[in-house]
Amino acid sequence: MSRSQDIDTLARTIWAEARGEGVAGMEAVAAVIMNRVNADLGKDGRPDWWGEGVEGVCRKPWQFSCWNEGDPNRGKLIMVKASEDGWFAHAVEIAKRAIAGELPDKTGGATHYHAKSVKPKWSEGRQPCAEIGWHVFYKL
């Protein structure tokens, strides 16, 4: 995967998952994705269950709902252009910084998040490591 493809995929994921969260929320989603990209869960160098690399992590089925077939954001994220949407332009800049390792992680190392309006089963009994905008973040 090329760096430009990774930036594009990351930016689209950030935009679709958090465009209503402002820059801080978009940066937090980028941090979660990069935390997954940089993790080696088994410390074995083998692929992790949530995917490998930026594209693999972003597009792994059922990880970021915006890429799921039938999700209302999917068509929008495929068609959005930075020249037509200011929040997508922000997402592209955030993605560039994240991939370059220049984005501070304000999530405390989170690898998961959910909207405050839902309580997924995986979050039961777990302590959040951050709350940013309308999202709750966890380091699992």
Based on DSSP, count helices (H) and strands (E) in the chain, helices before strands: 5, 3
Tokens in use for 18?
């958090």
The widest CA-to-CA distance across the chain, in whole angstroms, is 43
Residue 92 belongs to domain with CATH number = 1.10.10.2520
Predicted TM-score (pTM) of this structure: 0.91
Q: Would residue 117 count as lying in a domain?
A: no
Question: Over the stretch 77-118, which tens digit does the pLDDT of each residue have?
Answer: 899 998 899 999 999 999 999 999 999 999 999 999 999 999
Residue 12 CB-half CA count within 13 A = 22
**Distance of alpha carbon 12 from alpha carbon 52, whole angstroms:** 17
Q: Which stretch of DSSP H or E encloses residue 13?
A: helix 3-18
Q: Would residue 34 count as lying in a domain?
A: yes
Which parts of the chain register pLDDT below 70?
1, 40-49
Q: Would residue 27 count as lying in a domain?
A: yes
- What pLDDT score was predicted for residue 47? 67
**Domain, as residue range, for 62:** 3-106
- What pLDDT score was predicted for residue 3? 87
Q: Would residue 124 count as lying in a domain?
A: no
Q: Would residue 85 count as lying in a domain?
A: yes
Overall domain count for the chain: 1
- What pLDDT score was predicted for residue 40? 66
- What pLDDT score was predicted for residue 46? 62
DSSP H helical ranges for the chain = 3-18, 22-38, 53-59, 72-79, 86-99
Q: Would residue 115 count as lying in a domain?
A: no
